[in-house]
């Protein structure tokens, strides 16, 4: 990286690299991986499956020194990525790490793109002060210009045509790009609503019956019941008002939305495994781990959490 | 000593569960829980089991027999390496 954009030793570096062709992708990613290995870093590469093979092939003899993961699995739910990278760091205490993470690809749904963009923003918070260098490739030929603009918002450094620059759009004050931080749209008219307070057994029975009828396997329906229950239990624990569960089926998935007057103050809630003896935090951790996608919006007006479970998973 | 739990257990039963667990904990030896008829357990209940197991000390353990897939998932997600806590299918 150029002098203008290097961080102090031992600090997080988080750069987006914009590429338009395969040779550009290979140059950038292999250059980053090679520099990391030369520096004695542990190197972790999580990119969509087909690109793994490409990178392995071009790393020649050095592929054995790199840890690889298929991002379409590891990051299918973008909330799984930070804990996985943290586990890699924790398994190698004191070692500097270079990490290539490509969490955004063109076939992701609009909701997934939004959550993956929020994940990119949360990287800056999760690994502040941690000696990890992160490179996030973005395919400018396949991704919408709005997605690229958001990458400039979420990365302190952007690399174009091989040259790193500080990103002028990077904004620590407004953590998330505006279009990824809007209130969630209202549930569709065919959604079924259930207001609740302390009747959590009824909430579980309702969500479980709906999920199984909509076609979720019994195991996945049980996971969804746990997730919905934990959110409703948080309503009971942290607020004095009713909550509302909405549930509906659409486009091959079951969606549950839990809304209450509570406020989630930690933007990283659910993305770090709480300590075993922690009195709180396990609920949101479990919710994020069990579901295919979680959308959480919180503010002075309350909290809305939308859980997606695909029928095909 | 074996304690049998049945039905659904969530945060609303944590108080009575703590009282019930105190008996086998005070009796000494390993604590065996028969959970084959427990159809649901939430994070609060699982936390109580894990923390009770943690408090048993180095020579004792808590064994969860017949835990539902959901309860096994919660243990695996939140307390995977909890000393003194053992989960068996039987």
Give the count of beta carbons closer than 10 Å to the beta carbon of residue A14.
25
* Mean per-residue pLDDT over chain A, rounded: 94
Q: What is the pLDDT of residue B42?
A: 98
**CATH code of A19's domain:** 3.40.50.300
Non-local CB neighbours of A193 within 8 Å, separated by 6+ positions: A187, A244, A245, A246
Q: Are residues A196 and A156 in the same domain?
A: no
Strands B2-9 and B31-41: parallel
What is the percentage of chain A residues whose pLDDT exceeds 90?
A: 93
* Same domain as A156, residue A281: no
Residue A3 burial (C-beta neighbours within 10 Å; 0-12, 13-18, 19+): exposed
- The reply to whether residue B54 touches residue A276, judged by beta carbons under 8 angstroms, is yes
Chain A nearest C-alpha distance from B14 (Å): 13
Contacts with B81 from chain A: Cβ below 8 Å: 276
pLDDT score recorded for residue B1: 67
pLDDT at residue A2 greater than cutoff 60: no
Q: Taking chain A, what is the end-to-end CA distance rounded to the nearest angstrom?
A: 40
Cβ-Cβ contacts under 8 Å for A196 (sequence gap 6 or more): A202, A203, A232, A235, A242, A243, A244, A245
Residue A260: pLDDT band by 50, 70, 90 thresholds?
very high
Angle at B80 between CA B75 and CA B83, to 5 degrees: 105
Does one domain contain both A47 and A173? yes
Q: Which of A206, A229, A275 to mutate to test the interface with B (most CBs of B within 10 A)?
A: A229
What is the band of A1 on the pLDDT scale with cuts at 50, 70, 90?
very low
- Looking at residue A9, its pLDDT comes to 57
Same domain, A123 and A215: no
**A174 falls in which pLDDT band (50, 70, 90)?**
confident
Among candidate residues A134, A151, A177, the one where a domain is terminated: A177
The residue assigned the tokens 């031992």 is: A10
Residue A311 touches partner B, C-beta closer than 8 Å: no
Q: What is the pLDDT of residue A10?
A: 65
CA distance A229 to chain B (A): 8
Q: Are residues A220 and A146 in the same domain?
A: no
Quick one: A20 and A94 in the same domain?
Answer: yes
pLDDT of A3: 40
Task: Give the pLDDT mean for A64-77.
Answer: 98
| C-alpha–C-alpha distance, residues A65 and B6, integer Å | 50
A-chain CB neighbours of B12 within 8 Å are: 198, 200
Q: What percentage of chain A has pLDDT greater than the value 70?
A: 96
- Mutation target vs B (from A286, A287, A288, A290; most B CBs, 10 A cutoff): A286
The answer, yes or no, to whether residue A172 has pLDDT greater than 80, is no
Question: By the CB < 8 Å criterion, does B72 face chain A?
Answer: no
Q: Kindly tell me if the per-residue pLDDT of A8 is higher than 70.
A: no
Domain endpoint, select from A144, A177, A210: A177
Q: B3 vs chain A: nearest CA distance in angstroms?
A: 23
Task: Return the half-sphere exposure (C-beta side, CA atoms, 13 A cut-off) of residue B74.
Answer: 29
In this structure, are A65 and A19 located in the same domain? Answer: yes
| pLDDT of A103 | 98
Q: Are A255 and A308 in contact (CB under 8 A)?
A: yes
**Matching residue, tokens 């909550």:** A243
3-state secondary structure of B80: coil
Closest chain A CA to residue B69: A219
Q: Is residue A282 part of a domain?
A: yes
Report CB contact under 8 Å: B43, A219: no
> For the domain B2-88, what is the CATH code?
3.30.750.24
CB contact under 8 A, B42 and A198: no
Give the residue from A127, A43, A133, A26 showing the smallest Cα distance to A92. A43
Q: Using one digit for the tens of pLDDT, what is the confidence trace for A83-103?
A: 999 999 999 998 999 999 999
Average of pLDDT values for A37-57?
A: 96
Residues A104 and A197 in one domain: no
Tens of pLDDT, residues A212-234? 999 999 999 999 999 999 999 99
Domain with A134, as residue range(s), is 3-177
Chain A interface includes B51 (CB < 8 A): yes
Rg (CA), chain A: 20
Res A281: pLDDT: 95
Q: Verify that A163 and A36 share a domain, yes or no.
A: yes
Answer for the pair B64, B88: CB distance below 8 angstroms, yes or no.
yes
Query: Does B76 contact A at CB distance below 8 Å?
Result: no
**pLDDT of A150-168, one tens digit each?**
999 999 999 999 999 999 9
Domain layout of chain B by residue ranges? 2-88
At A91-137, the pLDDT tens digits run 999 899 999 999 999 999 999 999 999 999 999 999 999 999 999 99
Residue at A186 is within a domain = no
The answer to whether B11 faces chain A, any CB pair under 8 Å, is yes
Residues A168 and A203 in one domain: no
Mean pLDDT for the stretch of residues A177-204: 96
A286-296 pLDDT per residue, tens: 999 999 999 99
Which domain CATH number covers A223?
Answer: 3.30.565.10
Q: Indicate the residue among A133, A154, A177 that finishes a domain.
A: A177
Per the CB < 8 A criterion, the answer to whether A27 and A161 are in contact is no
Q: Which residues in chain B have their CB less than 8 angstroms from residue A226's CB?
A: 42, 70, 73-74
Residue A99 in contact with residue A68, Cβ under 8 Å? no
Model pLDDT, residue A4: 44
Any chain A CB within 8 A of the CB of B65? no
Please tell me the total count of domains within chain A: 2
Is residue A212 situated within a structural domain? yes
Closest CA to A99 of A71, A121, A76, A118: A71
Of A229, A277, A285, the CB nearest to B10: A229
Residue ranges in chain B modelled with pLDDT below 70? 1
* Rounded average pLDDT over A22-47: 97
> A263 with A303: CB under 8 angstroms?
yes
Co-location of A167 and A224 in the same domain: no
Q: Using CA atoms, how far apart are residues B36 and B68, in angstroms rounded to an integer?
A: 7
A184: in domain: no
Q: Say if residue A59 is in the same domain as residue A153.
A: yes
């Amino acid at each position: 990286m150029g002098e203008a954009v290097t961080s102090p030793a031992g600090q997080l570096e988080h750069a987006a690299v914009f590429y338009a062709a395969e040779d550009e992708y290979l140059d950038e990613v292999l250059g980053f991986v090679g520099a990391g290995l030369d520096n004695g870093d542990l190197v972790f590469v999580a990119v969509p499956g087909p690109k793994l093979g490409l990178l392995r092939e071009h790393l020649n003899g050095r592929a054995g020194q790199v840890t690889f993961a298929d991002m379409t699995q590891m990051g299918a739910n973008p909330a799984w990525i930070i804990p996985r990278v943290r586990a890699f760091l924790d398994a190698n205490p004191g070692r500097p790490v270079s990490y290539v993470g490509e969490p955004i690809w063109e076939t992701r749904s609009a909701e997934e793109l939004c959550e993956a963009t929020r994940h990119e923003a949360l990287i800056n918070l999760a690994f502040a002060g941690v000696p990890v260098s992160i490179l996030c490739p973005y395919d400018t030929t396949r991704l919408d210009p709005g997605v690229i603009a958001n990458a400039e918002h979420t990365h302190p450094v952007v690399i174009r045509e091989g040259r790193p620059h500080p990103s002028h759009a990077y904004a620590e004050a407004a953590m998330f790009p505006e279009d990824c931080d809007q209130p969630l749209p209202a549930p569709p008219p065919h959604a079924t609503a259930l207001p609740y307070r302390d009747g959590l057994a009824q909430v579980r029975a309702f969500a479980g019956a709906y999920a199984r009828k909509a076609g979720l396997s019994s195991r996945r329906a049980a996971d969804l019941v746990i997730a919905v229950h934990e959110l409703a239990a948080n309503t009971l624990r942290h607020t004095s008002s009713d909550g509302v569960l909405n549930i509906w089926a659409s486009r091959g998935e079951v969606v549950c939305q839990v809304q209450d007057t509570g406020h989630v103050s930690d933007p990283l809630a659910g993305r770090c495994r709480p300590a075993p003896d922690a009195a709180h935090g396990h609920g949101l951790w479990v919710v994020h781990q069990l579901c295919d996608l979680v959308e959480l919006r919180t503010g002075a007006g309350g909290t809305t959490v939308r859980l997606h479970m695909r029928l095909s998973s | 000593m074996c304690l049998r739990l049945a039905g659904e257990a969530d945060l609303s039963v944590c108080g009575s569960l703590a009282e019930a667990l105190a008996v086998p904990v005070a009796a000494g030896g390993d604590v065996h829980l028969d959970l084959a008829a427990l159809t649901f357990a939430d994070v609060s209940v699982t936390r109580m089991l894990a923390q009770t197991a943690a408090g048993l000390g180095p020579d004792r353990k808590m064994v969860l027999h017949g835990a539902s897939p959901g309860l096994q998932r919660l243990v695996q997600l939140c307390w995977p390496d909890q000393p003194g806590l053992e989960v068996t299918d039987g």
